[in-house]
């Protein structure tokens, strides 16, 4: 017995049969972002060919699909971290509508200063996210059901409150109310306007040739929405891959019981991820109401599914414990480019949904295959 298990014998054992050589392809396959990277390349390649001359890749076009992608990315980051932690949030879309409506009610109907309206809304939404997380971890119910309940509860309030207070379902006048506010430009403003003006003057990007905007560049600056999206992507990726907390997120989603045995505060991690998801929905809503100048009761419909699809395209497993924020961001980029690209290419835009369904199916099949490689199941 002891003879056969000297280190040398163990070593030989290891060398000849333990270490299976895996091809670089398979090694690359088990990176969660791979699907997203390939998809991004393919999508850009196709639209370069079919819509290259349609204005999709001039300054205005780029800003167009970047903004749409950033919207997806913003909520995808939250949904991604939550999914890796092993839970779902189906109330993201309702939360967007609710948050926007609360900003409008506080800021316009009640006449609070805009910064206070925004801050209170953020606290409120994050707290609601925390409550749904608390219910999930306390009751042990599937988060699917708990957040489905919140989908209806929040949407109901979003329709009910403005009707009760203002007798309408859209509250406008947010831009006027936000005039001169210090916090509102954090969501509705644009940065690098000087640079874009200079680029317009220098002829690098097109300028308006007539009308009251004559001489101004067609793209005034980078909307804060994009800045927020990049910030959230960076933050999410950093937390997930580089911090102790990130390890806990993976552990909580990989196997909650094993994680608990090893001393990981699983419930705390999950509740915090629900709060983070709600927070990113609130950021989305704040950017949206500042841009539109109004809050509508139907805002954010189906956003929860779009977020989840972006995350899945990005390589995360629906069952938790595996995924990547960068992948989710690429999923969101694919989403935005295709949605806007079909418009530029002159394709009927309802086909976007067909594309969505097809790519979702492919992504899930690919992910299941990848999972088998990682866990060695057959």
Partner 1 sequence: MNPEKAPIIQMRNIEKHFGSVIALAGVSVDVFPGECHCLLGDNGAGKSTFIKTMSGVHKPTKGEIMFEGTSMHFADPRDAISAGIATVHQHLAMIPLMSVSRNFFMGNEPIKNLGPLKLFDHDYANRVTMEEMKKMGINLRGPDQAVGTLSGGERQTVAIARAVHFGAKVLILDEPTSALGVRQTANVLATVDRVRKQGIAVVFITHNVRHAMAVGDRFTVLNRGKTLGTAQRGQITPEELQDLMAGGQELVALEGSLGGTV
Rule CB under 8 A: which residues touch partner 1? Answer: 1-2, 4-5, 7, 10-11, 14-15, 18-19, 22, 30, 242-247, 250-251, 254-255, 258-259, 261-264, 317, 321-322, 371, 374-377
Q: What is the smallest separation between the CB atom of 28 and partner 1, expressed in angstroms?
A: 13
Q: What is the smallest separation between the CB atom of 249 and partner 1, expressed in angstroms?
A: 11
Pick from 232, 241, 242: nearest CA to 281: 232
Give the nearer residue to partner 1 in terms of CB position, either 22 or 110: 22
DSSP 106: I
Q: What is the smallest separation between the CB atom of 88 and partner 1, expressed in angstroms?
A: 18
DSSP-based three-state secondary structure for 91: coil
Q: What is the smallest separation between the CB atom of 234 and partner 1, expressed in angstroms?
A: 13
Most distant CA pair in the chain, distance: 90
Give the nearer residue to partner 1 in terms of CB position, either 11 or 139: 11
Give the nearer residue to partner 1 in terms of CB position, either 30 or 159: 30
Pick from 224, 225, 220: nearest CA to 205: 220
- CA 338, 343, 347, 348: dihedral to nearest 10 degrees? 100
Give the nearer residue to partner 1 in terms of CB position, either 175 or 371: 371
Q: What angle do CA 238, 242, 246 make, to 5 degrees?
A: 85
Q: What is the smallest separation between the CB atom of 24 and partner 1, expressed in angstroms?
A: 12
* Spatial separation of the C-alpha atoms in residues 24 and 34, rounded to whole Å: 13
Q: Scan for tokens 């990547």, then name that residue.
A: 324
Q: How many residues does the chain have?
A: 378
Pick from 365, 70, 48: nearest CA to 190: 70
Give the nearer residue to partner 1 in terms of CB position, either 10 or 346: 10
DSSP-based three-state secondary structure for 190: strand
Give the nearer residue to partner 1 in terms of CB position, either 5 or 139: 5
Q: What is the smallest separation between the CB atom of 32 and partner 1, expressed in angstroms?
A: 10
Give the nearer residue to partner 1 in terms of CB position, either 15 or 176: 15
Q: What angle do CA 148, 298, 350 make, to 5 degrees?
A: 95
Residue 215 in contact with residue 207, Cβ under 8 Å?
yes
Q: What is the smallest separation between the CB atom of 315 and partner 1, expressed in angstroms?
A: 12
């Amino acid at each position: 017995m002891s003879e056969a298990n000297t280190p040398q014998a163990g070593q030989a054992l290891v060398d000849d049969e333990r270490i299976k050589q895996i091809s670089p392809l398979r090694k690359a396959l088990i990176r969660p972002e791979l699907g997203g990277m390939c998809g991004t390349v393919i999508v850009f390649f196709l639209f370069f060919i079919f819509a290259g001359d349609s204005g999709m890749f001039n300054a205005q076009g780029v800003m167009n699909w970047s903004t749409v992608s950033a919207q997806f990315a913003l909520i995808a980051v939250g949904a991604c971290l939550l999914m890796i932690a092993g839970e779902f949030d189906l109330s993201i879309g309702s939360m967007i509508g609710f948050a926007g409506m609360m900003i409008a009610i506080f800021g316009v109907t009640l006449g609070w200063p805009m910064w206070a309206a925004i801050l209170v809304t953020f606290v409120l939404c994050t707290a609601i996210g925390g409550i749904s997380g608390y219910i999930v971890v306390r009751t042990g119910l599937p988060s699917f059901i708990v957040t489905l309940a919140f989908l209806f509860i929040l949407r109901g309030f979003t329709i009910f409150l403005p009707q009760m207070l203002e007798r309408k379902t859209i509250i406008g006048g947010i831009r006027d109310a936000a005039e001169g506010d210090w916090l509102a430009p954090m969501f509705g403003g644009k940065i690098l306007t000087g640079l874009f003006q200079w680029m317009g003057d220098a002829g690098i990007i097109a300028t308006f040739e007539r009308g009251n905007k004559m001489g101004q560049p067609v793209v005034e600056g980078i909307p804060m929405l994009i800045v927020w999206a990049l910030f959230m992507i960076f933050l999410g990726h950093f937390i997930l891959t580089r911090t102790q907390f990130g390890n806990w997120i993976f552990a909580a989603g990989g196997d909650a019981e094993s994680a608990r045995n090893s001393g990981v505060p699983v419930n705390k991690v999950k509740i915090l991820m629900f709060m983070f998801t709600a927070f990113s929905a609130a950021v989305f809503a704040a950017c949206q109401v500042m841009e539109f100048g109004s809050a509508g009761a139907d805002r954010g419909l189906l956003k929860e599914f779009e977020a989840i699809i972006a995350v899945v395209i990005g390589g995360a497993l629906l069952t938790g414990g595996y995924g990547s924020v960068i992948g989710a961001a690429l999923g969101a980029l694919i989403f935005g480019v295709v949605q806007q690209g079909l418009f530029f290419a002159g394709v009927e835009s309802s086909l976007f949904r067909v594309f969505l369904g097809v790519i979702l199916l492919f992504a899930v099949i690919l992910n299941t295959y990848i999972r088998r490689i990682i866990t060695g199941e057959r």
